[in-house]
Chain A
Amino acid sequence: MSDVLVVADHRRGALRDVSYEILTAGRELADETGGDLHAAVVSGDVESFADDLNREGVDAIHTVGDGAEFNHDVYAQAVTALADDLAPEFVLAPNSVNGLDYAPAVANRLGLPYVSDAVGLAYDDGLVATREMYGSKVETTVEVDADSAVVSIRGGEWAAAEGTGDAEVSAFDFDLDESAVRSTVTGFEEVGGGDVDIADADVLVSVGRGIEEEDNLDLIFDLAEAMDATVSSSRPIVDNGWLPKNRQVGQSGKVVTPDVYLAVGISGAVQHVAGMKGADTIIAINTDPNAPIFDIADYGIVGDLFEVVPELIAQFE
């Protein structure tokens, strides 16, 4: 019992990036435990997914053909059955929206401890996971005091596995209990549309919760006008109904890659950063010198946006 089982993530016919990253995380852990790396892919075109997953360091790939798209009832059953069969030391799942929807159930079914959203994994006679807390303000280590565990890993923290592997690909024989499938995915819907496409903008002035009130948004629009930029935002602004959903940058919003991204009153939560880390130049204005946005910023002003932004507008007028 020293193997590691990782579960791939896919949507609408394509593996998601985290599926290759989890292979790397899994391989590193398997090197520590001295076991094999098993990958599982459930639902959809599993044969072609298995081809794509067959990268360096993968020892075995298990396909479960039931279902066309993600359904947590199928995933929870399949991954639990596979873990029962292989008895791996660790099961790794992505901390994606789908991971959030089945990994805790798998841990519960297997009676194993669960650690979510790991950004680092170490092994020293037991698992030590690194996680963040308080919106990335602190980092913690978490020790698992058990022989095995289920862990979900954060996307973007491990490099994608590359190369070609010679994993043994096999269909996992498994009796799906249809009566336990009590949820049905009926379709997908794209959100967005709207007046502007922030993904096209060269310069984005992006506003976050630091703006405090809807009326204060005028200040941001004035700045954007002066800079000839487009206004985007973090999630709370959209949640509050102050800007339409198509202005939201982040994991569940848009991925943007402008030349300049000016983040005003945005903390830089991981789900926000997922959408803007590819910007050429990142600038942050924030009162909190420890705000995680400064970790990825090229330039920054530690200061009050209500003082800095009017001065900045004046500079461009």
Chain B
Amino acid sequence: MKILVTVKEVAEVEDDFEIEGLSVAERFLEYDLNEWDDYAVEEAVQLQEAGDDVEVVTVTIGPERSEETIRMALAKGADRAIRVWDDALADADALDVAIRTRILEAVVAEEEPDLILSGVQAADTGFGATGVSLADAVGFEWAAVVNSLDQDALLAGEGAKVHRELEGGVEELTDVELPAVLTIQTGINEPRYASLRGIRQAQRKEIAETSLDDLGLDASAVEGNVHLTDMYEPESESDAELFEGDAGETASQLATVLREKGVGAE
């Protein structure tokens, strides 16, 4: 069985930051493996460890910098990685789901995985669409917001028996035929830390650099219809009373308010 995991490097914004044009200024950004993808990688690696002959391949659309993140996934146990990048992509509208779908569709056509695991959403853009859009484009079945997967049943060829986490503490039990895309919710497992051995081994694993051309796509594939036109700090609607002073002073002011509200009263 081959499992393809979509892995995105996401940017995190520092507490204090400035916006320059249509993006947060680079110096206020830190890059990391998308939280939701971390759980997806873990689920794939667990299946690889539990099953015979399970290969885990990651795919990332991202610039050279993202190799650091990809190595992290490799260090956790993925067998090899694909990184798609191109000059045309550097200028593409990162928010367009159709672009990501077209690229990943081409990767799926080459790799022919049985199962694709994707994070529910990316922490930076929060679109929450890639997995389901890709599934539909490649004709796979799918399930979104999966927080439990019966690994034994999957490895025994019984398809994916999943729980989808709905709102309000309710889970939906769903049986999904393979091939399928599952979008993975945090909490489904406990992502491992990469071991030193894993990190060393990751250095020797392959990250295949792939261009649009390699995938049989041309620059028109990354022309999109969804454009970012403005970015700003949201106007604070806050009318919160902020306590001023050092920790002792602020704590004492807060305690006064809390006591007025009857908190801690004997």
Contacts and interface: CB of A to CB of B under 8 A. Distances in A.
A284 B240 CA distance: 9
B170 interface: yes
Interface of A is mostly: mixed
A308 B100 CA distance: 45
A138 B251 contact: no
Contacts of A235: 186-187
A96 B167 contact: yes
Given A183-B174, A260-B261, A143 B227 contact: yes
Nearest to A289: B15
A137 B232 CA distance: 9
B24 to A, nearest CB: 7
A29 interface: no
A312 B251 contact: yes
A236 B136 CA distance: 30
Nearest to B176: A183
Query: Interface residue tally of chain A, by bracket?
Result: 35 or more
A148 to B, nearest CB: 10
B12 interface: yes
Interface of B is mostly: mixed
B86 interface: no
Interface string B119-144: 01001111111111101110001111
Contacts of B126: 116-117, 131-133, 135
A105 interface: yes
A132 B258 contact: no
A96 B166 CA distance: 8
A215 interface: no
A185 B173 contact: yes
25 contacts: A76-B136, A97-B144, A98-B166, A100-B145, A104-B136, A137-B17, A138-B232, A140-B231, A145-B225, A146-B225, A182-B176, A183-B141, A183-B142, A187-B173, A189-B163, A191-B171, A203-B263, A227-B258, A228-B263, A235-B186, A251-B167, A260-B261, A283-B258, A298-B241, A300-B242
Interface of A: 11, 16, 70, 72-73, 76, 95-98, 100-105, 107-109, 113-117, 128, 131-146, 149, 182-192, 203, 226-229, 235-236, 238-241, 245, 251-255, 259-260, 274, 281, 283-284, 287-290, 294-304, 307-308, 310-312, 314-316
Interface of B: 11-13, 15-17, 19, 24, 95-98, 101, 120, 123-133, 135-137, 141-145, 163-177, 183, 186-187, 190, 224-234, 236-243, 247-248, 250-252, 254-255, 257-258, 261-265
Closest 8 CB pairs of A and B: A311-B251, A315-B255, A307-B247, A239-B187, A105-B136, A101-B144, A104-B133, A104-B129
